[in-house]
Structure 1
């Protein structure tokens, strides 16, 4: 019997905790990190307005308007996206926060070279994938079971991407909070041409369970809501298509996939997001990604969790690129 893979990344109550168990027992890994719940009202240093390139968008925020990296046209399938995932406040959530900024970016570039050698025909677009709204084990003041990262934290990662010619994904783990307002919170950032969106069904707790206790889900209607939201931003601001990454590692995480509607303004990536030995990862990709196609596909690799089972190892670029369909989005945690 094929068993689902699991990998949880959960920010909990401002401190770090970790729990883990085997992939085969269907239990999950929880990495916890803290971020201040108080939004930063202003940056400490004033940012002088800059002249925006022709056709660019003003967000109304001088700091954001100083970020001028603007890839042209649709990213997929011309480029393969290669992303480091995590949160700068946590060494447990992934590569994005495990290392200091400069070391993290050096490691990103070195890994990209390995993938470029494996497929020289497809250029690679670097990316940083930030957990910008994180599921929580406690309800919070509004009962949302989620924590939005502060404006300061999000801008910091956007600056890293801007300096490194890397696109940035803002990922939503909504908990009990409605998806619409969580996306609206990201809107001013998504107006930048290099900023894209990720949504994580694992933490979409439609059953009312606490995040981390059960695996959540999104229906096609939820994904269509995100697509429409992004499409409107593209049309209103004359931007190139946005990329929407949807994480998945079980059958039940995505419901009614056939009802997902494609949109020329949004490129949908279904990302196989589970940890375990190569045989289980390949089986999950076939069962939940290949058999239920949407548009583009992604594949996630874990620097630590993919080694957790005896004899396990991280898959090589050649092995991942041998999958069908060939993943166009690669993520390392």
Structure 2
């Protein structure tokens, strides 16, 4: 972004012929105490048991919980690559033995677990393995592992940790599901397993909180609708790739260049390369501008135009059937974000619909578009976030995407004042800079400097203004990595 006027020119407004073209769309209207690690049970939630010890690697914690002893164990080095991890999993699975990975805590926790298990030999995999005081195995076959009584109980086991931790649980013979974070709602597989047998006791291994917290989340996993791609927590279990624009307004972005079904086909094509590059589930998405900045006074003289929610409803319904997530983008002019968000309450009650605020188009009382770049006070953002989080709670919805667009330092004011603590929302700071790769990276670096806590990052690729536009591979190489990627 080299200048304010250049930035504004790249984002067309509804005016003149464009306004007439879309006239039909516009309406007139208990955390486990880390000092006391181990199994804890709450009498009011007997079906949920949590095991946690942050001082040891997750695979060690799983082994300690599900195995009494093992004559042989697999040890994976700290710097093991993907192929070596796959090999370790295959060996552990074939022999029904633990696989323990050394992490940044060093070899001591793994050595202690080998001693507890009374291991006679180690199958070491990966570079730089330290001496653990146990002889190396002569082959990759072994016998003698004995599961614990905990493993023999008929429970669904949720594992928060790497593939080594999950492989160790499966080697113990339990029904195990891995989750990307220590929350049963973060995995579609976990949610499906919990719904399939709602009365089955659950053992959660990792930082799931106390049994009350874990139990509440398990109950939610069994009752709350899922997001496209599975699960009820937005990130990090999925990555979204979105088509930006407004129905009937091709000048506002590529989403408006075709109808609903063609837009679904188009975003699927755009998202497809990311599926080959991303470890996370890639979910196609729409970002639909539902209130459109206007060069004319527009709705109630507020320099914004309101698209009737019933015009947007077919897009929402079709997207839901197709597994496409939707964010509703607000360009409020002289109105406030919360007032506009409430106009779309019924649409936001859908489990696959989130909200995006575009402060570039939030004007002060005497400002007009194309003269100033808009901005918003953090207090206004917080009021909108409070309302949206309350909607999630009261309507029993999965976590919602809450996007805050930004390319200029002043657009969100003092970001330290933003309340990003709502667990009901996945707050995204979305970088909207365009231009050459050097300019885009510089804009991104400014935006990620001093980020508030608990936020995810977004990135926008521009078909016309980027010179050249980043490829999917280049986009995923941006650091910190973006989780919500849109195309305009």
Distance in 1, matches of 2:299 and 2:291, equals 15
Kept after mapping to 1: 8 A contact 2:309/2:347: no
Match of 1:315 in 2: 470
Q: Could you say what the CA RMSD is over the residues aligned between the two structures, in angstroms?
A: 2.6
Kept after mapping to 1: 8 A contact 2:247/2:256: yes
Distance in 1, matches of 2:450 and 2:470, equals 21
Distance in 2, matches of 1:174 and 1:109, equals 29
Match of 2:447 in 1: 288
Distance in 2, matches of 1:230 and 1:265, equals 8
1:3 Cα offset (Å): 5.6
Q: Find out whether 1:36 has 2:24 as its counterpart.
A: yes
CA shift digits 1:154-184 (9 cap, x unpaired): 1121123123111111111010012222111
Match of 1:149 among 293, 302, 307: 307
CA shift digits 1:177-221 (9 cap, x unpaired): 122221110111111111110110000002521123211001221
By percentage of residues, which structure has more helix? 2
Q: Whose Rg is larger?
A: 2
The alignment of Structure 1 onto Structure 2 pairs a total of residues equal to: 290
1:71 Cα offset (Å): 5.3
Match of 2:291 among 110, 133, 157: 133
Match of 2:87 in 1: none
1:226 Cα offset (Å): 1.6
TM-score w.r.t. length of structure 1: 0.80
Higher RCO (CA-CA < 8 Å; seq separation 6+) = 1
Alignment of 1:59-98 (within 5 A): 72-98=231-257
1:143 Cα offset (Å): 1.8
Q: Sort the Cα spacing of 1:35 and 1:322 in 2 relative to 1 into closer, same or farther, 3 A.
A: same
1:36 Cα offset (Å): 2.6
1:103 Cα offset (Å): 3.2
Q: Which runs of 5+ in 2 are unaligned?
A: 30-221
Match of 2:399 in 1: 241
Q: Sort the Cα spacing of 1:210 and 1:71 in 2 relative to 1 into closer, same or farther, 3 A.
A: farther
Match of 2:41 in 1: none
Q: Find out whether 1:99 has 2:258 as its counterpart.
A: yes
Distance in 2, matches of 1:220 and 1:101, equals 34
Match of 1:301 in 2: 461
Match of 2:383 in 1: 225
Q: Sort the Cα spacing of 1:328 and 1:319 in 2 relative to 1 into closer, same or farther, 3 A.
A: same
Distance in 1, matches of 2:423 and 2:485, equals 22
1:325 Cα offset (Å): 1.2
Match of 2:424 among 259, 265, 268: 265
Partner secondary structure for residue 251 of structure 1 = coil
1:321 Cα offset (Å): 1.6
Distance in 2, matches of 1:109 and 1:37, equals 25
Q: Find out whether 1:165 has 2:323 as its counterpart.
A: yes
Match of 1:51 in 2: none
Kept after mapping to 2: 8 A contact 1:81/1:125: yes
Partner secondary structure for residue 250 of structure 2 = coil
Match of 2:346 among 180, 188, 191: 188
Kept after mapping to 2: 8 A contact 1:88/1:96: yes
Match of 2:479 in 1: 324
TM-score w.r.t. length of structure 2: 0.55
Q: Sort the Cα spacing of 1:38 and 1:257 in 2 relative to 1 into closer, same or farther, 3 A.
A: closer
CA shift digits 1:97-127 (9 cap, x unpaired): 11343333222112211112222x1111111
Q: Sort the Cα spacing of 1:281 and 1:69 in 2 relative to 1 into closer, same or farther, 3 A.
A: closer
Distance in 2, matches of 1:2 and 1:99, equals 31
Alignment of 1:11-50 (within 5 A): 11-13=14-16, 15-16=17-18, 34-36=22-24, 39=27
Deviates more, 1:316-325 or 1:254-263: 316-325
1:9 Cα offset (Å): 3.8
CA shift digits 1:27-78 (9 cap, x unpaired): xxxxx9623365399xxxxxxxxxxxx9579xxxxxxxxxx97954111111
